[in-house]
Chain A
Amino acid sequence: MQLTVWTYEGPPHVGAMRVATGMKGLHYVLHAPQGDTYADLLFTMIERRGQRPPVTYTTFQARDLGTDTAELFQRAARDAYERFQPQAMIVGASCTAELIQDDPAGLALTMGLPCPIIALDLPSYSHKENWGAAETFYQIVRQLADKERKVPPRENRRPRANLLGPTALGFRHRDDVVEVTKLLADLGIDVHVCAPMGATPADIAGLGEADFNVVLYPEIAHEAARWLEKTFGQKYTKTVPIGVGATRAFIAEAATLAGVPVPADPDAGRMPWWSRSIDSTYLTGKRVFIFGDATHAVAAARIARDELGFEVVGLGCYNREFARDIRTAAALYGVEPLITDDYLVVEDAIAAANCELVLGTQMERHIAKRLRLPCAVISAPVHVQDFPARHSPQMGFEGANVIFDTWVHPLVMGLEEHLLTMFREDFEFSDAAGPSHLGGHAATPAAPEAAANPAETPVVTAVETVEGWTSDATRELNKIPFFVRGKARRNTERYAAEKGVTAISVETLYEAKAHYAR
C-alpha cells in the first residue's frame, strides 16, 4: 500500500476515457461501481467540454453484487448501443470491477452487437492513466486499422502523414495539433488522419494510407506507432517539436520521411530574437528545476539551457515508463534524474535544488507557491486555467513564442529587477508596496496555506526580527529585495549551520553570499 494525498496520474480507465472522449463515433462501456462517474467532470469542467464524455457506466451497487452484475453489464452495453449507435465500442472494467471478475470483454463479445467491440484489459493496481491511454489507443488501432488499405503510389499527389497521440484532457493538445498541421502544410505535407483526437473508427481503418506517422505525444502514441510501422511499414518521427531547436529538427525529420526538400531557413518566429535582446541578459544562468511527464520535461530542459540560457539544476518525471528518456537527458545536463510519483519527494528535491524558477505541473505550481518561488506549468496534470480560451500551443514556432512568455513572465523583468535593486530604499519599492508585477499595491499577501497551517510555511515574509540573527544582520537582510531575500536567508542560515555560527552577523551574511556566489 502506498499512502497518497495527491496523484500525478489517474487510474488507467481514465486514460481510456481520454482516448474515447477525444474520438467521435466511439462509445466506452465501463463496468464500474456507482461513483466512478466523477471522472466525467474532468472533461466537462477542467477541459470545459459541452458534451458528456461518450461513456456508459454500469454503476453497480452492493445489492447488485453476485450473479447480477454480468447481466447489468450486458444491459448497459445494449442500451448504450441502441441510444448512441456508435461505429465501434470499447469495453472494460474499472478497478473494482476488475476484482469481481465479470469479464466484460467476454460478455460483450458474445452479445452479437452490430459493431466492432474492442476489449480492454487495463490492470488498475499496477498501471496508470498514461499507460491506459496508450494501451487503449494501441488496441483501437490494432483492431480497427484495415490491413488491406495501404499507402497508394506517390505519383501526382502530396505526401501525407497521420498525427498520433492527441487526446481529450491533454495539455495543449488542441493547439499543438493546429501548429503541427501548419508546419507540415508549409512543407507540402497533408495530414491524413489525426488520432485519437477528432478521429472516428472509420478514420482509424484508413491509417495505413499515410506515408508516415508523426508521434506528437510518445506517452500515448508510441505503442500504436510501432505497430503501424510493423504492419504498414510507416516510419514515425522521433523528435517532439517543442522548442525552436526541436522544431527545426522535427521539420528536417518530417521532410526527410516525406521525401521533400528540407527548407534551408524556416521563419522561426519571435522567440530567438526575444531571447537575444538585452532585456533577457539577466536570464543567464538562472537556476531552473524541471518536472513533469518525460516528454515535456526533456523538451523543457533543452529550451531552458540552449534557448534561454538557464542552468538546469533538476530534471525529473512521474511516468516511470519513460524514465529512460529522463536518465539520458539528465546525464546531458549533469544532474541526478528524479523518477518518482511522490510529490513530497519532488518538494524535497526542489527545496534542496536552491533554484530560481520551477517548471512543472499543477503540483509543482503549489510547491513553488509554498516555497515562494516563481513557477510556470509545462505538463499535465493541470487545472482549468491551463485549458485556455486563447490559442496557446507548446509545439512549433508559435509554441516557442508562448513558452518564452509563459516562463519569463513569473520572473521579474530585467529592467524591473535592476530598478528594484537600485531604489530598494524608496518608499514605492518598499516591502509594504508589494511587487508591482503581481497586480498592484497590496502588501505581500500570506499564502493561503499559511493561514491554514502556519507551522509549515517557510518564513520568508517581510520585515521582522529573525531568530538567530543579530539586529544589524536582520536590517541588512531586509535591504535585499523581497524576491531574493528568502534565498539569501536560506543560504546564510545553511552556511551558518555548516560553520557552527550561532548568531548571524552582517559579516556572516556576506561570507555566505561570497560562498554561494557563482
Chain B
Amino acid sequence: MTAVLAPPRPTGELPILRERGQREVFCGLTGIVWLHRKVQDAFFLVVGSRTCAHLLQSAAGVMVFAEPRFGTAIIEERDLAGLADANEELDKVVNRLLARRPEIKLLFLVGSCPSEVIKLDLSRAAERLNVTHHPRVRILNYSGSGIETTFTQGEDACLAALVPEMREDAVDQLLIVGALPDVVEDQFRRLFADIGIKNVDTLPPRLSKNLPAVGPGTRFLLAQPFLGDTARALEARGARHLPAMFPFGAEGTTAWLHAAATEFGVDEMHFRSVVAPGRERAKRALAHHAERLAGKSIFFMPDSQLEVPLARFLSAELGMTLVEVGTPYLHRTHLADDLAALPTGTQISEGQDVDKQLDRVRAARPDLTVCGLGLANPLEQEGLSTKWAIELVFSPVHGFEQAGDLAELFARPLVRRDRLTV
C-alpha cells in the first residue's frame, strides 16, 4: 500500500504531446444523459438547435422514449430575427414545460453553441424565470456547448453551477464530488461510515432539496477527474480538496479512501481492517482478468478525461503496456497521484488531431484501442480490437466491488476476438 501512496513525482518527466485539429469528441450536452438520471427532480432544458436535439437523441438511445427529464428548446428562424423575441419564446417554453411537469423542482437552462454564438443570455433568463417560478422551482444555467466543453466537462459545468446554491455551514464534513451510480455511492457511504467518518455527503444529491452545505469545515474528494471548475468553486467557498488517486481498482480505491481517513484522523490499523475485505475481493476479481490483460498494449484516444486514471489502473494493477494516453484536457493537479504512478516515459497527449492520431494507432497496432463510437467499427474493420469509451462513463466502474467489472470491460473485446472463427 505504501507504494501507491508515494509522493507525486513532477509531471515534467512525462512527455506530453499537445495537438490541435479535428477533434472526434462529444460536447458537454451529453452529460445530461447521466446527470438527469442522478438528480431525480431536475429537468435539463437545452436551448439550442435541431442538431443539439439530434445529438441528445443519438446519445440517449432508448432512454428518450421513457419521458426523460431533458429536452431541447429548438431555436427557429424567427428566434434569430431579434433577441427580445428569443427571450419571450424561451419564457413561453419554460412556462409550458413547468406546467406540464409539476414534479420538477430544479430546472437547468443549458447553453449550446448556437445559443452562445447568438449571445442569448441564459443567466439573465434564469434570473427572470426564477422570479416567476419562485419558490416552486429553482432555475439555474450552465454551458454544455461544444465550443466551451468536451463531453464530461458538461457535468463539471453543471455541478459548478450548483455550488453557489449550497448553504453555508462550517461543520466538519466529507463531500464526495461527482455523479456516481447509486449503487457505487451507497458502497462508498457504507465504507466511510465503517471507517468512522460521520458527516459524508455527495454532490450532486439525488434530490435537489438535499443539496449539501459547504464551508471551511468541508473537505472534498473528487470521484471523477473532470471536475476542475467545480473544485475551484468549492475552494472559493472555503472547502479543501483532498488529493488522491481516483478510485479505480483495488489500489486506486484504497488510496482514495485513505486520503479521507488520514485527513479525518482515522487510526491506520482501523482503516486497514475496514478496507481489507473489499480490497482483497477486488484483487481476487482482478487476478481473474490479469492473465488475459498482462503484457497487452493499449492506446487511449481522448474522450472523457478518465483516460489517465484508467491507464494507471490498467498498467499498475493489470500489467498492461501503455502506448499513448490521450485526454481532451489534462488537469495536472487533480491527476498528480495517478500521473506519478504511470510508468516513466508514458506518452500522454492532450487535445487531438484525429487523422494524425489514427496514423499513430495504425503504426503502433496496439492490442486494444479505447475510442469513441464513431471510430470503433472503422478500426475493427482494419483488424484492431477496440473498447468504446462511452461505456466507461455510464457503467458502475468505481470502487472495490466494481474493479473486476472494470477490468472485464477491457478484457471482453480481446476474449471475443480469440473466440470468433468467422
Interface code B358-397, partner A: CB below 8 Å = 1, 0 otherwise?
0000000000000011111110110000000000000000
Given the interface pairs A5-B64, A126-B77, A452-B66, the reply to whether A33 lies near B147 with Cβ below 8 Å is yes
Contacts of A85 in B (CB 8 A): none
Asked whether B373 lies within 8 Å of A3 as measured between CB atoms, the reply is: no
Q: Within the assembled complex, what's the spacing in Å between the Cα atoms of A301 and B337?
A: 64
Asked whether A95 lies within 8 Å of B97 as measured between CB atoms, the reply is: no
Tell me, rounded to whole Å, the shortest Cβ–Cβ distance linking A400 to chain B: 30
Asked whether A11 lies within 8 Å of B66 as measured between CB atoms, the reply is: no
Asked whether A37 lies within 8 Å of B24 as measured between CB atoms, the reply is: yes
Asked whether B147 lies within 8 Å of A449 as measured between CB atoms, the reply is: no
Asked whether B66 lies within 8 Å of A453 as measured between CB atoms, the reply is: yes
Q: Within the assembled complex, what's the spacing in Å between the Cα atoms of A128 and B54?
A: 11
Contacts of B76 in A (CB 8 A): 1-2, 125-126
Contacts of B355 in A (CB 8 A): 79, 83
Asked whether B150 lies within 8 Å of A124 as measured between CB atoms, the reply is: no
Q: How large is the interface on B (under 10, 10 to 19, 20 to 34, 35 or more residues)?
A: 35 or more
Contacts of B55 in A (CB 8 A): 35-36, 38
Instruction: Check A260 for interface membership: any CB of B closer than 8 A.
Output: no
Asked whether B65 lies within 8 Å of A6 as measured between CB atoms, the reply is: yes
Asked whether B22 lies within 8 Å of A35 as measured between CB atoms, the reply is: no
Instruction: Check B70 for interface membership: any CB of A closer than 8 A.
Output: yes
Asked whether A37 lies within 8 Å of B25 as measured between CB atoms, the reply is: yes
Instruction: Check B336 for interface membership: any CB of A closer than 8 A.
Output: no
A46, closest chain B residue (CB): B58
Q: Within the assembled complex, what's the spacing in Å between the Cα atoms of A44 and B388?
A: 12
Asked whether B22 lies within 8 Å of A56 as measured between CB atoms, the reply is: yes
Within 116-167 of B, Cβ neighbours of A (below 8 Å) are at: 116-118, 145-148, 150
Contacts of A264 in B (CB 8 A): none
Instruction: Check B50 for interface membership: any CB of A closer than 8 A.
Output: yes
Q: Within the assembled complex, what's the spacing in Å between the Cα atoms of A52 and B355?
A: 11
Instruction: Check B344 for interface membership: any CB of A closer than 8 A.
Output: no
Instruction: Check B27 for interface membership: any CB of A closer than 8 A.
Output: yes
Asked whether A36 lies within 8 Å of B51 as measured between CB atoms, the reply is: yes
Contacts of B372 in A (CB 8 A): 41
Instruction: Check A284 for interface membership: any CB of B closer than 8 A.
Output: no
Given the interface pairs A50-B380, A61-B146, the reply to whether A94 lies near B79 with Cβ below 8 Å is no
Tell me, rounded to whole Å, the shortest Cβ–Cβ distance linking B298 to chain A: 21
Instruction: Check B89 for interface membership: any CB of A closer than 8 A.
Output: yes
B382, closest chain A residue (CB): A50
Asked whether B90 lies within 8 Å of A1 as measured between CB atoms, the reply is: yes
Q: Which of A10, A40, A48, A64 interacts with B54 by CB under 8 Å?
A: A10
Instruction: Check B311 for interface membership: any CB of A closer than 8 A.
Output: no
B328, closest chain A residue (CB): A34
Q: Within the assembled complex, what's the spacing in Å between the Cα atoms of A150 and B5?
A: 77
Asked whether A3 lies within 8 Å of B374 as measured between CB atoms, the reply is: no
Q: Within the assembled complex, what's the spacing in Å between the Cα atoms of A65 and B113?
A: 11
Asked whether A7 lies within 8 Å of B147 as measured between CB atoms, the reply is: no
Contacts of A13 in B (CB 8 A): 51
Asked whether A453 lies within 8 Å of B93 as measured between CB atoms, the reply is: no
Asked whether A128 lies within 8 Å of B147 as measured between CB atoms, the reply is: no
Tell me, rounded to whole Å, the shortest Cβ–Cβ distance linking B141 to chain A: 16
Asked whether A95 lies within 8 Å of B376 as measured between CB atoms, the reply is: no
Asked whether A44 lies within 8 Å of B377 as measured between CB atoms, the reply is: yes
Instruction: Check B29 for interface membership: any CB of A closer than 8 A.
Output: yes
Interface code A1-37, partner B: CB below 8 Å = 1, 0 otherwise?
1111111011101100000000000000000011111
Q: Which of B27, B70, B373 interacts with A41 by CB under 8 Å?
A: B373
Which among A34, A57, A453, A456 has the highest number of chain B CB atoms within 10 Å?
A34
Q: Which of A1, A79, A453 interacts with B75 by CB under 8 Å?
A: A1
Asked whether B113 lies within 8 Å of A33 as measured between CB atoms, the reply is: yes
Tell me, rounded to whole Å, the shortest Cβ–Cβ distance linking B406 to chain A: 23
Tell me, rounded to whole Å, the shortest Cβ–Cβ distance linking B60 to chain A: 9
Interface of B is mostly: helix
Instruction: Check A407 for interface membership: any CB of B closer than 8 A.
Output: no
Instruction: Check B38 for interface membership: any CB of A closer than 8 A.
Output: no
Instruction: Check A459 for interface membership: any CB of B closer than 8 A.
Output: no
Asked whether A3 lies within 8 Å of B96 as measured between CB atoms, the reply is: yes
Asked whether A96 lies within 8 Å of B74 as measured between CB atoms, the reply is: no
Contacts of B90 in A (CB 8 A): 1
Instruction: Check A151 for interface membership: any CB of B closer than 8 A.
Output: no
Interface code B68-89, partner A: CB below 8 Å = 1, 0 otherwise?
1011111111011000001001
Asked whether B24 lies within 8 Å of A40 as measured between CB atoms, the reply is: yes
Q: Which of B53, B73, B77 interacts with A7 by CB under 8 Å?
A: B53
Tell me, rounded to whole Å, the shortest Cβ–Cβ distance linking B9 to chain A: 30
Q: Within the assembled complex, what's the spacing in Å between the Cα atoms of A60 and B89?
A: 28
Tell me, rounded to whole Å, the shortest Cβ–Cβ distance linking B14 to chain A: 24
Tell me, rounded to whole Å, the shortest Cβ–Cβ distance linking B349 to chain A: 16
A83, closest chain B residue (CB): B355
Asked whether A95 lies within 8 Å of B49 as measured between CB atoms, the reply is: yes
Asked whether A4 lies within 8 Å of B74 as measured between CB atoms, the reply is: yes
Q: Within the assembled complex, what's the spacing in Å between the Cα atoms of A36 and B373?
A: 13
Contacts of B374 in A (CB 8 A): 37-38, 40-41, 44, 52
Asked whether A99 lies within 8 Å of B381 as measured between CB atoms, the reply is: no
B45, closest chain A residue (CB): A3
Given the interface pairs A3-B71, A100-B117, the reply to whether A37 lies near B23 with Cβ below 8 Å is yes
Given the interface pairs A3-B96, A44-B377, the reply to whether A124 lies near B51 with Cβ below 8 Å is yes
Given the interface pairs A51-B378, A124-B51, the reply to whether A35 lies near B27 with Cβ below 8 Å is yes
Tell me, rounded to whole Å, the shortest Cβ–Cβ distance linking B362 to chain A: 13
Instruction: Check A123 for interface membership: any CB of B closer than 8 A.
Output: yes
Given the interface pairs A1-B76, A125-B76, the reply to whether A65 lies near B147 with Cβ below 8 Å is yes
Q: Within the assembled complex, what's the spacing in Å between the Cα atoms of A517 and B146?
A: 57
Asked whether A125 lies within 8 Å of B77 as measured between CB atoms, the reply is: yes
B92, closest chain A residue (CB): A1
Asked whether B114 lies within 8 Å of A34 as measured between CB atoms, the reply is: no
Asked whether B146 lies within 8 Å of A35 as measured between CB atoms, the reply is: yes
Contacts of B50 in A (CB 8 A): 4, 7, 9-11, 95, 124, 128
Q: Within the assembled complex, what's the spacing in Å between the Cα atoms of A41 and B22?
A: 16
Given the interface pairs A41-B58, A44-B373, A125-B49, the reply to whether A35 lies near B26 with Cβ below 8 Å is yes
Tell me, rounded to whole Å, the shortest Cβ–Cβ distance linking A2 to chain B: 5
Within 330-358 of B, Cβ neighbours of A (below 8 Å) are at: 355
B144, closest chain A residue (CB): A35
A42, closest chain B residue (CB): B58
A101, closest chain B residue (CB): B117
Instruction: Check A174 for interface membership: any CB of B closer than 8 A.
Output: no
Which among A1, A33, A36, A100 has the highest number of chain B CB atoms within 10 Å?
A1
Contacts of B418 in A (CB 8 A): none
A47, closest chain B residue (CB): B377
Q: Which of B89, B118, B148 interacts with A62 by CB under 8 Å?
A: B148
Asked whether A95 lies within 8 Å of B377 as measured between CB atoms, the reply is: no
Asked whether B146 lies within 8 Å of A1 as measured between CB atoms, the reply is: no
B29, closest chain A residue (CB): A35
Q: Within the assembled complex, what's the spacing in Å between the Cα atoms of A11 and B96?
A: 25
Instruction: Check A371 for interface membership: any CB of B closer than 8 A.
Output: no
Contacts of B96 in A (CB 8 A): 3
Asked whether A95 lies within 8 Å of B114 as measured between CB atoms, the reply is: yes
Q: Within the assembled complex, what's the spacing in Å between the Cα atoms of A452 and B37?
A: 11
Contacts of B79 in A (CB 8 A): 1, 125
In the complex, given contacts A4-B74, A6-B57, A44-B378, what are 20 additional A-B residue pairs having Cβ atoms less than 8 angstroms apart? A1-B74, A1-B89, A1-B92, A2-B73, A5-B53, A11-B49, A14-B54, A34-B27, A35-B29, A37-B25, A38-B55, A44-B375, A45-B377, A50-B377, A57-B22, A61-B146, A65-B147, A128-B50, A363-B65, A453-B67
Q: Please list the residues of chain A having a beta carbon within 8 angstroms of any beta carbon in chain B.
A: 1-7, 9-11, 13-14, 33-42, 44-45, 48-52, 56-62, 64-65, 76, 79, 83, 94-96, 99-100, 123-126, 128, 363, 366, 370, 448-449, 452-453, 456
3 closest A-B pairs by CB? A35-B27, A35-B146, A40-B374
